[in-house]
């Protein structure tokens, strides 16, 4: 199952002005991140289920867009980018969020690849499950 979520980076990834991550190291974080997201899938499904949404508060949700940046390359996978804002849950049962980044960081403070939905916003790189 781990191979299903494998991809490689073309170059080292800069994390802000601090350290750089080698492609193999980032790939290991990605695999761990996928396992963590899958482990939490039930709780995410519960949060995003229709009975927990208020009809008057429903907004048109933006679907993930295909990733076309230069830093990540996929092996037999489709990569997507999704923007997540604070307290704006999207249906994450189909997508596993792996990396986040900002304008100054392609691997933004996600060493260990821990993700708490709704606690921080930003752009996230996803793989389709």
Let me know: does 98 contact 129? Beta carbons within 8 Å.
Answer: no
Distance set, CA 10 to CA 24, 59, 70, 71, 91 (Å): 10, 37, 8, 6, 30
Q: State the first-to-last Cα distance of the chain, in angstroms, to the nearest integer.
A: 11
If phi > 0 it is left, if psi is from -120 to 50 it is alpha, else beta; for residue 94 that is: alpha
Question: What six digits make up the tokens of 19?
Answer: 């350290």
- pLDDT at residue 20 above 50? yes
Q: How much is the pLDDT for 68?
A: 74
- pLDDT at residue 75 above 50? yes
Q: How much is the pLDDT for 127?
A: 54
Q: How much is the pLDDT for 90?
A: 41
């Amino acid at each position: 199952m781990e191979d299903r979520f494998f991809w490689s980076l073309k170059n080292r990834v800069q994390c802000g002005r601090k350290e750089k991550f080698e492609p193999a190291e980032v790939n290991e974080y990605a695999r761990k991140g996928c396992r963590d997201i899958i482990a939490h899938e039930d709780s995410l499904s519960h949060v995003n289920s229709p009975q927990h949404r208020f009809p008057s508060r429903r907004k048109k949700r933006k679907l993930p867009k295909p990733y076309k940046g230069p830093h990540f390359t996929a092996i037999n996978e489709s990569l997507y980018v999704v923007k997540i804002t604070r307290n704006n849950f999207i249906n994450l049962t189909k997508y596993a969020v792996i990396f986040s980044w900002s304008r100054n960081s392609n691997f933004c403070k996600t060493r260990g690849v821990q993700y708490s939905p709704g606690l921080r916003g930003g752009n996230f790189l996803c793989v389709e499950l």
